[in-house]
Amino acid sequence: MTRLRRPRWIGLAAVAVLVAAILLSTEYRPADAPSAAQAQAFDPARYGSETYQSKVVPAIRQNATPLPELFAALSADKEAAGRRYGHREGTGPWSFAVTGEGVAGRTTGNLMLVTGTGLPTATRVSLQVGPAINGTALRDAAGFITFGQFLNQVQYADAATALNNQMRGSVLADLKPADLAGQKITFTGAFRFVTPSVVTITPIEIGRAQ
């Protein structure tokens, strides 16, 4: 009896289909991505308390660039300055850790104006002094926090809010902006660069200049 032989290409095609099915059903995640259990248990308040003082504050201090030096670099080449001094996710705006000094001015809303910072007079420099603290500058300028560490955009945003809340509790709780008006101060913090005419810094330190 003659046995019918199945063409070899049919077997190879079956193997290819099986491999494709395995690849399509396999989820690839970054090495620092959270596990399902970690993602389910994400607690923003806990994240803030465990990350702000021990990790974010040292990172901002270590990477802080004097504000006049940074703006000189930004004026020369924004992208080169961003790569050298800043951090960002994808193609979004650069965020920078900075240090500076100036004269504290009046506070309007949650912003305290600072003059005499060494920047052009057309640039308005302000420090966020609460009670509302907006933006993601602390998260983004720290340099070690990425979207891939979180399950979704909501958790990523909650992490930024948690860091802002920690800063408000540790830096701004006893701060009286009105008492600083007219005095020379020093500051360290972070901001997101959107336009050279407005610099709004989220501080990790504010003090009277010596």
**Domain at 201, CATH number:** 2.40.50.420
Find the domain containing 58 and state its range.
33-208
Report pTM: 0.81
The residue-averaged pLDDT of 2-21 equals 54
Is residue 123 within 8 Å of 71, Cβ to Cβ? yes
Q: What is the pLDDT of residue 90?
A: 86
The Cα–Cα gap between 133 and 114 comes to 17
Query: Across all residues in the chain, what is the average pLDDT?
Result: 88
Residue 201 pLDDT > 60, yes or no?
yes
Residue 62 domain-assigned?
yes
Q: What is the pLDDT of residue 5?
A: 55
Residue 3 domain-assigned?
no
The residue-averaged pLDDT of 95-123 equals 96
End-to-end CA distance of the chain: 103
Please, which residues have CB within 8 angstroms of residue 65's CB and are 6 or more apart in sequence?
Answer: 85, 96, 97, 98, 99
Residue 1 domain-assigned?
no
Residue 26 domain-assigned?
no
Please, which residues have CB within 8 angstroms of residue 16's CB and are 6 or more apart in sequence?
Answer: none
Residue 16 domain-assigned?
no
Q: What is the pLDDT of residue 108?
A: 94
Residue 33 pLDDT > 90, yes or no?
no
Residue 91 domain-assigned?
yes
